[in-house]
Every structure is written in C-alpha cells, then in structure tokens.
Amino acid sequence: MPNHKFSRRDFARRVALASAATLVPASVLTNPDLAPTAARQFAPNAPPLPPASQTEADARTQSILAQYGSRLSDQQKTEIARLSNNQQRQLDILRAYSVQNGDDPALYLKPLMEREKKPAPTNPAATSTAKPAQAAPAPAAPKPKS
C-alpha cells in the first residue's frame, strides 16, 4: 500500500527545493521535468532514473544551486543536474551491493600484504589450548554475500 505521509526528511527536502527555486535556471522552472531531460540529452543512452533516485539527485542539485547558484551560468546549472544524475546512477549501484553489518570499511587503505596475514594454525590442538577453557563460542564472522 502506498504511503502518502511525508517524512520529516521529505518535508525538509521540499522546503529546500522551494527555497532554492529562485536559483534554478528559468528553463527548469518552466518545466519541472527539464533537469532530467537535459541530463538525458547529454547522456542519450542512459535510462531515466527511478523516481526516488531522481528526487534524490534533484535535491542534491538544488542544494548546490542554493549555495552556489549565483556564481553559475545557466549552462553550468544544467550540467550540474546532469552530473548529479550520473552520480545517482553510481550511488544506486553501490547501495544495491550487499554488505553486512560486520564488513569493515577500508577507512585507511591498508594493502593486504602476504607477511601481514595471520599464519594458518598448523596444530589444531595447540590452537584449542590457546583459547580459554570456558570461552563462549565466538559468533561466526559475517560473510559478504557477493
């Protein structure tokens, strides 16, 4: 069942869109569909974004225009809309990739080097004696579904 309620986030987004309207190129104001249409003109083979993704990309565009619109030409504003759309496609792909709660982000890239890997246990008995006798079983490490 469709949910017609606006979340606070949706509300804030709409306020931002409204407040930024004066910074949007005139051509966009007269036709609310023009930003994505313009984007498709630059990338004719790209399929249209799903509505939710388009809303998100548009919100980012409007945020940029609200902050920096006065220093941008109409052509640059249209180009920014296209770039936001392209970024959104990447975002959608990244978000669709399954990661688990326990997957660590490579916050600071540490190349995986041979000598840094923990040596595999050669003697199972020795490994088990290294653990506390009453230790609870460790939770299985989450594995990426990929």
Partner 1 sequence: MPATSQELHFLAISELAARIQSKKLSPVDLAKHFLDRSEKLGPRFNAYARLTPELALEQAEAAQKEIARGHYRGPLHGIPYAAKDLLATKGMPTTWGAKPYADQVFDYDAAVIEHLRRVGAVLIGKAAMIELAGGMGYRYASASLQGEAKNPWNTQCWTCGSSSGSGAVVAAGLAAFAIGTETWGSIVCPSSFCGVSGLRPTYGRVSRFGAMSLCFSLDKIGPMCRTADDCARVFSAIAGHDIRDRGTVPIDKAAFTFSPSLDLKARPLKIGWLTNAWKQVDPEVERVSKAAHATIRKLFAGTRDTTLPTGPWEEAASFIVAVECAASFRDLIRSGRVSELNDSLGQIAGYVNQELPASDYLQALKIRQILQKKMDKVFETYDVLVAPTLPVTASALDANIENIFSGGDPFGAIGNLCGFPALSVPCGFTSKNLPVGLNFVAKAGDDLAVIIAARTFQQHTDFHRRHPKL
CB 76, CB 117: distance < 8 Å: no
The yes or no reply on residue 104 touching partner 1 (CB under 8 A) is yes
CB 24, CB 66: distance < 8 Å: no
Of the listed pieces 26-34, 79-87, 125-133, 134-142, which binds partner 1 according to CB under 8 A? 79-87
Site map 28..67 versus partner 1, x via CB under 8 A: --------------------------------x--xx--x
Closest CB 10 distance from partner 1, rounded Å: 16
At residue 95, φ and ψ (nearest 5 deg) are -70, -30
Which of 1, 26, 94, 140 lies at the binding interface for partner 1 (CB under 8 A)?
A: 94
Rounded distance, CA 67 to CA 141, Å?
Answer: 44
The yes or no reply on residue 76 touching partner 1 (CB under 8 A) is yes
- 7-35: string of b/e by CB count within 10 Å (b at 16+)? eeeeeebeeebeebeebbbeebeeeeebb
User: Which spans of this chain sit near partner 1 (rule: CB under 8 A)?
Assistant: 60, 63-64, 67-68, 71-72, 76, 79-80, 83-84, 87, 90-91, 93-97, 99, 103-116, 144, 146
